[in-house]
Amino acid sequence: MKKVRVVVTGRVQGVWFRAATRDKAIQLGVNGHVRNLVSGDVEFVAEGDDSEVDRLIQWARHGPPLARVDDTEVEILQYDNEYTDFRVGY
């Protein structure tokens, strides 16, 4: 099991990035949350099966069709089974 914090930079606000991240996470069976940052970036915390979390990170490197992802910073966190679902905002 794995838990990560990911910050996505680029044109990622106002392009349905958060909703699309939630939908993809639910599809993959990953729990956590996604939110906008005041910097204009999007941050998400995701936990679950290693391979499914990795698939969410890979997806985030491109994001939804209207997004332009410039960079993704991934931080590995201590897995603690904190979340029971995946939510927008937190």
Catalytic residue among 18, 31, 61, 87: 18
Q: What is the pLDDT of residue 85?
A: 97
pTM of the shown model: 0.96
CB neighbour class for 56 (10 Å; exposed up to 12, middle 13-18, buried from 19):
buried
Report pLDDT for 31: 98
**Where does 2-80 sit in CATH, by number?**
3.30.70.100
Does 36 participate in catalysis according to the annotation?
yes
What does the pLDDT read at residue 90? 66
Tell me which of 5, 11, 35, 36 is the catalytic residue.
36
Residue pair 6/17 in contact (Cβ under 8 Å)? The answer is no
For 5-42, how does the pLDDT look when each residue is reduced to its tens digit (9 = 90+)? 999 999 999 999 999 999 999 999 999 999 999 999 99
Task: In whole angstroms, give the CA distance from residue 5 to residue 60.
Answer: 12
pLDDT exceeds cutoff 70 at 76: yes
- Domain ranges in the chain? 2-80
Q: Is 18 an active-site residue? A: yes
